[in-house]
């Protein structure tokens, strides 16, 4: 009974903490008192001990949730423009408009904060700050809001996992100063970066040594993702574990020389792992790995034997106790699932297996169980990942990572002698990068239905040895039914993507699509790659029939090159002369299956398409008889010109011109279009302060429903024969307490 109670306590504690990011409301901090009282009661009374894990989890969640909320309130109660003293907590990476990293705030407007509960913000500065630097500056504080789409990067969830409660920008018009403090990590980083200037794989070596992936070229990272090897570059539990084993081996050698030093392997292993985690900036994955290492050392010292399942539950519980909101991090789930799979594989192996046979068994066992996880998290699978991981995990484990760690140690002690070691690591990585291009074609993106079928098939294969033929038949029948009897598909759909300040609309019909604008591009990426393409794949779109560029400003056409290269649209429609193959001129018409597309503006193509020259389209579906008006960034002058033919403007749904700017949306224009719903593509709390409040009132005064991506996230319109379904992403997953807190919509 005691054993079952221990298992249940650990499991119930972990499961309840897993749910914390989903809570709609975070209870007041006063609720920690009854949690502690009932926890004490459950420990004293035997019949209530089954509830102790859940009560302790409630206490931890409420305590940490209120700590984050208190940090957020402390910052924003001081105002939007504040003077801070903060300590740099991470490497600062270059972005399109400065450098960005995490800073721990220690003082606001001259008032020193409680050192136990210091808020962290993501700060944008005009220069690259160093770890350990102390900055005193006047900053503009903003909520840590992010874009919210059905698929793609979720910055708000990442902020919760990292404990970041706001973002800020240094006001360069005011003086600021930086006090540099000695940091061994920063010194080594600068030293190694200079040493590697002429090396082919400088970015990869810095990533393996310090966890800084900012220097990895875009093409290299895509190759690593395609081959399923990106996890070998991001410092994680695998790398810390390898360094721990290196330290264990060193300690074993010392132990061989001095037989009485029986604990030296554990001591050296722990020190090596701690040192490597320090150099990686104690990132969240390395913190988790350190907890696992400490647990392993503790079990080694105690000498007691526990089941693998118990060890796994203890590990998960300790990780969540240390970081209760780690469940919001994708890397956390990958870590604990990978450890669970390794434990299952180890317990399932036949004891007579040779080393290499055991290695192959473990790899393919991992492949089988990690495939559905990868499919769900990354919306795709790599067919060659098993082969590449089978070869390169040992290569990284036995050669590259130990060589990088040895290079770091020599760099610290004898900098002049480390060049050859770094060169050797660079050559070893060059061999990997030479072979990786052969795996690029093996990455397959998966649609929603493909993900579901793949997950079900893998579950059936996993439990196949325990199922009779009737159960197997039912599983196969479920897979077939998921394909044949899918949810009722709309006749067509319009998705206004959340791309911040910019615009992108995906119009889908069957498995084909038109894309109207691509959002912005920056540095080595774009909204097309981070938002549009993942959505097209997830929707199961096979063909991009047209790419329409309303005009060529970056916030509307920044991702056109990436989209045109990777998706090769059948036609590119634009109002600019030197771009595309189909002109957007008033009167031009296209018939796209059941949708009639009519161009209403501009009257002619121009050498350079600015806002007033935006390509304006009206889409009408023949069967549903519903029309959508796509207006780009036209201004009031263009609207007046369009009013010459008001019979062409009437539409059910309107994409608000120019993001709701005061330079557009004339009352007469709104009356002529007379939409039921107006949608504006905006950035929440953006620098342009859009939409204009007077414009919003203008629409609402005419009883027109108003939605904007800045507050609603991605907006999906699904058109059925007799109804229209409007769904926003913040309706689906935006009600969590932390999203409200980060956007300053406190309960």
**Beta-carbon neighbour count of residue 199 at 10 Å?**
19
Integer Cα distance of 545 and 582 in angstroms: 12
> Is residue 225 packed enough to be buried (19+ CB in 10 Å), middle (13-18) or exposed (0-12)?
middle
Bridge partner residues of 508 (DSSP): 493, 513
Q: Quick one: pLDDT at residue 17?
A: 94
Q: Quick one: pLDDT at residue 421?
A: 92
Q: Quick one: pLDDT at residue 423?
A: 92
Q: Quick one: pLDDT at residue 480?
A: 67
Q: Quick one: pLDDT at residue 538?
A: 86
In the chain, where are the structural domains located?
1-69, 79-181, 186-315+376-445, 448-484, 492-743
Residue 462 phi/psi, 5-degree rounding, is: -65, -45
Rg from Cα positions in the chain: 28
Q: What is the pLDDT of residues 646-666, one digit of tens each?
A: 999 999 999 999 999 999 999
Q: Quick one: pLDDT at residue 2?
A: 62
Integer Cα distance of 18 and 61 in angstroms: 10
Strand order in the sheet with 589-592: 589-592, 595-601, 616-621, 627-630, 653-655, 677-680, 705-708
Q: Quick one: pLDDT at residue 746?
A: 39
Give the containing element (helix H, strand E) for 212: none
Sorted by sequence, the CB contacts under 8 Å of residue 362 that are 6+ apart come out as 342, 345, 346, 349
Token readout for 603 is: 């009257």
Q: In 3D, which of 337, 335, 315, 319 has the Cα closest to residue 60?
A: 319
Integer Cα distance of 52 and 42 in angstroms: 6
Q: What is the pLDDT of residues 464-506, one digit of tens each?
A: 666 677 776 776 777 666 655 556 789 999 999 999 999 999 9
Integer Cα distance of 300 and 262 in angstroms: 11
Q: Which fold has domain 492-743?
A: Metallo-beta-lactamase; Chain A (3.60.15)
| Beta carbons of 315 and 294 less than 8 angstroms apart | no
Q: Quick one: pLDDT at residue 709?
A: 96
DSSP letters along 138-206, please? EEEEEE------SSS--HHHHHHHHTEEEEEEE-TTS--EEE----HHHHHHHHHHHHTTT-TTHHHHH
Low-confidence ranges of the chain (pLDDT < 50): 1, 745-747
Question: What CATH number should be reported for the domain whose range is 79-181?
Answer: 2.40.50
Bridging pattern class, strands 653-655 and 627-630: parallel
CA 272 to chain centre: 30
């Amino acid at each position: 009974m005691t054993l079952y109670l221990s298992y249940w306590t650990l499991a119930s504690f972990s499961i309840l903490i897993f749910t914390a990011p989903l809570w709609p409301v975070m209870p007041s901090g006063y609720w920690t008192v009854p949690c502690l009282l009932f926890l004490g009661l459950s420990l004293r009374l035997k019949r209530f001990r089954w509830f102790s894990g859940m009560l302790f989890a409630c206490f931890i969640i409420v305590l940490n949730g209120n700590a984050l909320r208190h940090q957020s309130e402390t910052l924003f109660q001081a105002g939007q423009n504040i003077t801070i003293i903060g300590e740099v907590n991470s490497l600062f990476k270059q972005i399109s408009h400065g450098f960005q990293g995490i800073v721990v705030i220690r003082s606001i407007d001259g008032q020193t904060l409680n050192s136990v509960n210091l808020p962290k913000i993501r700060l944008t500065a005009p220069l690259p700050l160093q770890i350990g630097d102390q900055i005193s500056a006047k900053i503009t504080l903003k909520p840590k809001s992010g874009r919210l789409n059905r698929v793609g990067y979720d910055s708000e969830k990442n902020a919760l996992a990292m404990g970041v409660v706001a973002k800020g920008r240094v006001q360069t018009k005011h003086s600021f100063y930086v006090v540099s403090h000695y940091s061994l990590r920063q010194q080594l980083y600068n030293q190694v970066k200079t040493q590697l200037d002429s090396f082919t794989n400088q970015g990869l070596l810095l990533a393996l040594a310090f966890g800084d992936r900012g220097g990895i070229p875009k093409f290299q990272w895509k190759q690593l993702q395609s081959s399923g090897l990106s996890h070998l570059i991001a410092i994680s539990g695998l790398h810390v574990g390898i360094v721990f084993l290196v330290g264990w081996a060193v300690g074993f050698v010392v132990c061989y020389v001095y037989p009485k030093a029986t604990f030296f392997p554990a001591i050296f292993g722990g020190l090596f792992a701690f040192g490597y985690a320090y150099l990686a900036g104690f990132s969240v994955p390395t913190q988790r790995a350190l907890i696992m290492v400490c647990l392993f050392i503790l079990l080694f010292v105690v000498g007691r034997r526990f089941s693998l399942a118990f060890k796994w539950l203890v590990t998960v519980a300790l990780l969540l106790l240390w970081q209760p909101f780690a469940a919001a991090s994708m890397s956390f789930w990958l870590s604990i699932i990978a450890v669970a799979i390794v434990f299952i594989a180890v317990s399932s192996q036949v004891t007579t297996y040779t080393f290499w046979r055991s290695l192959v068994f473990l790899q393919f066992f991992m492949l089988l169980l990690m495939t559905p996880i990868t499919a769900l998290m990354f919306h795709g699978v790599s067919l060659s990942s098993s082969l590449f991981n089978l070869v390169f995990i040992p290569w990284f484990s036995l050669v590259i990572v130990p060589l990088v760690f040895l290079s770091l140690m020599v760099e610290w002690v004898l900098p002049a002698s480390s060049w050859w070691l770094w060169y050797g690591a660079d050559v070893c990585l060059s061999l990997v990068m030479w072979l990786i291009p052969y795996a690029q074609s093996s990455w397959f993106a998966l649609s929603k239905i493909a993900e579901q079928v793949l997950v079900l098939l893998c579950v059936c294969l996993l439990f196949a040895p325990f199922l009779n033929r009737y159960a197997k038949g039912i599983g196969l029948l479920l897979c077939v039914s998921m394909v044949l009897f899918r949810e009722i598909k709309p006749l067509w759909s319009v998705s206004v993507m959340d791309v911040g300040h910019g615009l992108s609309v995906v119009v889908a019909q069957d498995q084909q699509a038109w894309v109207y604008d691509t959002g912005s591009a920056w540095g080595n990426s774009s909204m097309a790659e981070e938002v549009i393409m993942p959505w097209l794949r997830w929707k199961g779109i096979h063909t991009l029939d047209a790419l329409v560029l309303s005009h060529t400003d970056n916030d509307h056409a920044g991702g056109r090159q990436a989209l045109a290269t990777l998706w090769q649209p059948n036609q590119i429609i634009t109002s600019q002369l030197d771009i595309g193959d189909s002109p957007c001129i008033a009167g031009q018409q296209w018939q796209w299956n059941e949708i009639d597309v009519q161009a209403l503006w501009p009257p002619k193509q121009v050498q350079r398409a600015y806002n007033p020259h935006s390509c304006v389209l009206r889409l009408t579906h023949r069967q549903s008889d519903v029309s959508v008006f796509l207006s780009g960034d036209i201004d009031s002058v263009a609207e007046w010109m369009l009013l010459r033919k008001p019979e062409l403007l009437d539409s059910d749904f309107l994409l608000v011109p120019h993001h709701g700017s005061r330079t557009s949306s004339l009352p007469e224009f709104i009356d002529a279009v007379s939409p039921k719903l107006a949608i504006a593509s905006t950035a929440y709390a953006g620098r342009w302060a859009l939409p204009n409040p007077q414009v919003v009132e203008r629409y609402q005064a005419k009883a027109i429903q108003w939605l904007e991506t800045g507050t609603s996230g991605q907006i999906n319109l699904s058109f059925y024969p007799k109804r229209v379904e409007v769904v926003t992403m913040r309706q689906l997953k935006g009600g969590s307490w932390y999203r409200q807190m980060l956007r300053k919509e406190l309960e």
